[in-house]
C-alpha cells in the first residue's frame, strides 16, 4: 500500500518546471524529508532508454498514437521501478512531468486522442499524483528559453509556437478539470519568488 506522497510538476517546454521541481525537492530535503526527485520520460534505467527515442530526432519520427504507447511504456517502468517502491517506504516523490503531459501533449495538442490516452492510463498506470503544480508561462517566452538551452532534446520544441500555444491551453483546461489536485503557478516571475510560493503550498499540503 502506498503511504508516501506523490507530487508532479507540469507545464510547457521552457516554463521553468524542472528548476522548480529541483528547488521544491531541495526545500523538503532541508526539512529532513525523504525525497525522491525524478522525471518523465525517464526516471528508471529502462524508461531513460525509451526517453531517447522520444525526445531526439525528427519531429515527424512517430505518430501521436505510437508516442502514446512509448510514453505509457516508459511510465509503467518508472512507476514499477522507482515511484511505487519510494511511496511504499513513505518517501515524497517529486516528478518532473507525469500522465498530465500525455493528456495534454498527445491527447489534445497532437490529434484528438484523449480517449486512447485515458483508456491506456486506466489499464496500465491507474495512478495520478496527489498534488500537481502547473507552471504557466507565455509560450513565446518559454519557447525562447527552451530552445536557448540547445539540449539536443528539442523534438517537441521544434514543433513550433502554434503547438506550444495549444499546449498552454491544454494545461489551463486541465487545471480547470482537476482543481482539487492541480495548483496553477505564474511562472513569469523570478524563480526564487515562484519557489517560495510552491514551498509554502507544499508545507501546507504535507
Ligand atoms: P522535458 O523537456 O520536460 O524533459 O520533456 C521531454 C519532452 O517530452 C517535452 O517536450 C514534453 C514531452 N512529453 C510528451 O509529449 N508526453 C509525455 O507524456 C511526457 C512525459 C513528455
Kindly state the DSSP code that residue 130 receives in the 8-state scheme: S
**pLDDT tens figures, 53-91:** 999 988 889 999 999 999 999 999 999 999 999 999 999
DSSP 37-55: EEESS-SSHHHHHHHHHHH
Beta pairing partners, 184: 134
Instruction: Ligand 1 pocket test: pick from 16, 17, 41, 102 the residue with the most ligand atoms within 8 Å of its Cβ.
Output: 41
Distance (Å) from CA 42 to ligand 1 centroid: 10
Alpha helices of the chain — where are they, by DSSP H? 17-30, 45-55, 64-78, 84-88, 99-101, 114-120, 139-148, 161-177, 191-205
Q: What is the pLDDT of residue 1?
A: 46
Mean pLDDT, residues 166-170 taken together: 95
Q: What is the pLDDT of residue 2?
A: 46
Nearest partner of 72 among 125, 143, 109, judged by Cα: 125
Lowest mean pLDDT of 40-49, 99-108, 189-198, name the range.
Answer: 99-108
Q: What is the pLDDT of residue 160?
A: 84
CB 182 within 8 A of CB 83: no
Q: What is the pLDDT of residue 196?
A: 98
pLDDT at 19 over 70: yes
pLDDT at 95 over 90: yes
Nearest partner of 118 among 130, 102, 131, judged by Cα: 102
Q: What is the pLDDT of residue 53?
A: 95
Handedness of CA 6, 12, 14, 15 (dihedral sign): negative
Mean pLDDT, residues 99-107 taken together: 95
Helix (H) / strand (E) element for 95: namely strand 92-96
Spatial strand order in the sheet of 5-11: 35-39, 92-96, 5-11, 131-136, 182-186
Instruction: Ligand 1 pocket test: pick from 51, 134, 156 the residue with the most ligand atoms within 8 Å of its Cβ.
Output: 156
pTM of the complete model: 0.95
Lowest mean pLDDT of 26-40, 52-66, 184-198, name the range.
Answer: 52-66
Query: How many domains does the structure of the chain reveal?
Result: 1
CA dihedral of 101, 73, 131, 5, whole degrees rounded to 10: -160
- In the chain, pLDDT over 70 holds for what percent of residues? 99
Residue position matching grid coordinates 519557489: 195
Kindly report the protein residue whose alpha carbon is nearest to atom 12 of ligand 1: 156
* Parallel/antiparallel/unpaired status of strands 35-39 and 131-136: unpaired
Domain range enclosing 153: 5-205
**pLDDT tens figures, 106-157:** 987 777 899 999 999 999 999 999 999 999 999 998 888 877 777 788 787 7
Residues with Cβ within 8 Å of residue 89, at least 6 apart in sequence: 4, 34
Distance (Å) from CA 46 to ligand 1 centroid: 16
Distance (Å) from CA 12 to ligand 1 centroid: 9
CATH code for the domain in which residue 50 is found: 3.40.50.300
Amino acid at each position: 500500500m502506498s503511504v508516501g506522497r506523490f507530487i508532479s510538476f507540469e507545464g510547457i517546454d521552457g516554463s521553468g518546471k524542472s528548476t522548480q521541481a529541483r528547488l521544491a525537492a531541495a526545500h523538503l530535503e532541508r526539512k529532513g524529508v525523504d525525497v525522491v526527485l525524478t522525471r518523465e520520460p525517464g526516471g528508471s534505467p529502462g524508461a531513460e532508454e525509451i526517453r531517447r527515442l522520444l525526445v531526439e530526432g525528427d519531429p515527424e519520427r512517430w505518430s501521436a498514437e505510437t508516442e502514446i504507447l512509448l510514453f505509457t511504456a516508459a511510465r509503467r517502468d518508472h512507476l514499477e521501478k522507482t515511484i511505487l517502491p519510494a511511496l511504499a517506504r513513505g518517501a515524497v516523490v517529486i516528478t518532473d512531468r507525469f500522465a498530465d503531459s500525455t493528456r495534454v501533449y498527445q491527447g489534445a495538442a497532437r490529434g484528438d486522442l484523449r480517449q486512447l490516452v485515458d483508456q491506456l492510463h486506466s489499464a496500465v498506470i491507474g495512478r495520478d499524483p496527489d498534488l500537481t503544480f502547473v507552471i504557466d508561462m507565455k509560450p513565446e517566452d518559454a519557447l525562447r528559453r527552451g530552445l536557448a538551452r540547445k539540449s539536443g532534446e528539442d523534438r517537441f520544441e521544434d514543433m513550433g509556437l502554434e503547438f506550444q500555444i495549444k499546449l498552454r491551453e491544454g494545461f489551463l483546461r486541465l487545471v480547470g478539470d482537476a482543481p482539487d489536485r492541480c495548483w496553477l503557478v505564474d511562472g513569469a516571475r523570478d524563480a526564487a519568488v515562484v519557489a517560495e510560493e510552491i514551498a509554502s503550498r507544499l508545507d501546507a499540503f504535507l
